[in-house]
A and B are shown apart, each in its own frame.
Chain A
Amino acid sequence: MSFLTSFVNGLSLGSIYAIIALGYTMVYGIAKMLNFAHGDFIMVGSYIIFTFVSTLGLHPAVGVLVSIVLCTLLGVGTERIAYRPLRQAASPLAVLITAIGVSYLLENLALLIFGADTKSFTSIIPWSGITLAGGALRIQGVTIVTIALSVAILIALQFFVHRTKSGQAMLAVAQDKGAATLMGIDVNKTISLTFAIGSALAAVAGALLCSAYPSLTPYTGAMPGIKAFVAAVLGGIGSIPGAMIGGLVLGIVEILSRTYISSQLSDAIVFGILVVVLLVKPTGLLGKITQEKV
C-alpha cells in the first residue's frame, strides 16, 4: 500500500507541476522566451495568500482570489514593462537576461518584505481527505483538490485554445507573428492575455504547492518553476496535453525515486528522464517536428 500512497503523492505533486507547466508552455509557445521569473510568480502568489489568510485572518477563498488577480496583474505588467520592449531585440538572450533580472527582483523584494525565515503556510483546503481500503490508503483533501483542479484546468484550456476566438488568435501568434498581424490579430493583446493566464495559473499552483508543502521562503518558487519548465519541455513545448503529461510524469518519478531510491538523487533522476526523452524525441513527447528550411 505504501506504493499506492507514494503514487498518489506523486500524482499530486505532478498535478502542481502540470498547472505551472501549462502556464509555462503557453507563455513559451507564444512569446518564445524562457521566462525565468515564472517560478517566482508562484512564490509571490503564495506570499499574497499568506499575508491575507495568516496575517490578516481573511477567508482562504478571498486570499486565493486576491492572489490570482494580483499575480495576473504582475504577469501582464512584467511583460509590458520588461519583456515587450525587447521582443524585437537583436539577440534572444536579451529578454532571457531581463527575465533573470525580474526573478532576482521578485526574490529580493520578498526577502526584504517578509525576511529570509521560513513561513509556515496554513493549508487553504481544510478538508482532511478520505480513507480508502480500510485505513491503509489515506488521501489528503489537498491531494484530491489538486488532481481534480489540474484536470479541470487542462480541459478548460483545451476548450479555450481550440474553441474560442482569443484561443485561436493565440495559436496563430504562436505559429507566425507576422502572418497573425496581417490577419488582423492584435499580437500585443494576445501575448498579454497569455501572460495573464500563465500568471493566474502560477498563483493557483502556488496556493496548492504551499498547501501540500507548507514552508514558504523567497526561493520557494524557483525549483518548481524550473521543474515545470522541464515538464513543459518533456511534453513538447507549446503542447497543452504535453505539459500535463510531462508534469505528471515528473511528479510521479520524483516522489517514487525519493521513496524507493534515494532522496538525494531524486532530482538527478528527474533531470535524467528529461535527457533520455529528448535524446529519443528531440522535441518532447507530444512536440511537433518543424522542418528547418534554407
Chain B
Amino acid sequence: MYNKPVIRKIFVKSVIVLLAIVFLFSAFQSVRLILQDARRGRLYLSQSEPARYHFMVILPTIEDEFFQKMWEGIQEAAEELNVGVELQVPRNILELRSGTLELMEIARLSQVDGVALYVTNEEELKPAINRTVVSGIPVVTLESDAPMSRRSGFVGSNSFKLGQEIGRLMQAAQPEGAKAALLKNEYFSERASQWSIIQYGILTSLSSGSSHEIVTERKTQIGVLSSEEKSRQILYLNPEVNVIFCTSLVDTISAANVVAEFDKEDEIKLIGYGYNQEIARGLEAGYIYGTLVRDPKSIGERGLQALLGLNSNQYVPSFIYIPSQVLTGDTQ
C-alpha cells in the first residue's frame, strides 16, 4: 500500500503534468488559430501571390447563377494557372451598355493582359473590342459572341446546335404543331448575329411544311419582374401559344410561375434555359418540359485558358465550343 506522502507526491506530479499539458496545448492551439488565417482564403493582401498575368473579366451580372458558375470556373482556372483575374461588373443594370463600354476602356488604359467578355450589345461593343485588340490586348468573348468584331476568340455554346436543340424540343413538346413564344432575355437580345444563328438552327430543325412556328418574341430584361410581366403578356395576347421558350434561368422560373398561375400547365409546354434545383423540380413535376443546360463553369475555365494561350503565343482556335445538354423530365 502507498503511504500518504507518496500519494501526495503522485497527485502533485499529476497536477503539474496536467497543467503543463493544458499550457502547451493552449499555446499550440492559440498559435495555430492565429496562423490559421494564412490558410483561410485571401483575407490579407500579404497572402496574395504575384501572378503571371492580369486579365479582366467583364460580366453583365454576378447575381445570376449562370454567371456565378462561369466566374467560379474562371477563378479555379486562375488559381491553377497562377493568373490574376479581375472581375468587373457594370455598376448597375440600367447602365449595362455604358458600364461595359467604360470597363472596356479602363481595361485598355490599364493595359491588362487580356479581357474576357460576355457581349451584351454587339454593335456598341464592337468598336471597343476592336480598339482593345488593336492596342495589343486580346479579347475573348464568353458564351455571347461578337462575331463581326476583331475579338481574338469565342468560348461558349454552339449557337446553331443550340437552335437545333431548341427546335427539336419544341417539336417534341407539341408534336401536333408548336406555336412558340420566345422570351428573349436582354443578354440575348442585342447579339444580333448570334441570335440569328440560333434562329437559323431552330428553323432548320423544324421539319419543312410542319405547323411549327414562332408566334411571338418578347424581350425581357435582367431581373425578375420583367420576365413575369412578359410571360403574362404572352398568355393574354397570344392565347394560341402552346410552347414558351425562355433564354435565361430567371425567365424560366418566372414563366413557370405565371403558367401555373394561369393553370395552363397542361396546355403550355415550357422549355427552359439553365439548370438549378428549382428547374430540376419543374422537370420532375412536369411543369417544365425540358431545358437547355449549358456548362458555364467550363466556359469560364476554357475562356481563361484561351486568354493565357493568346498571351503565350500559342494557337487558340477562334471558336471553342462547349457542349450543351438537353434535359427533359424523362432524361433527367
**Co-assembled chains A and B:** no
Which residues does A use to contact B, with CB under 8 Å?
none
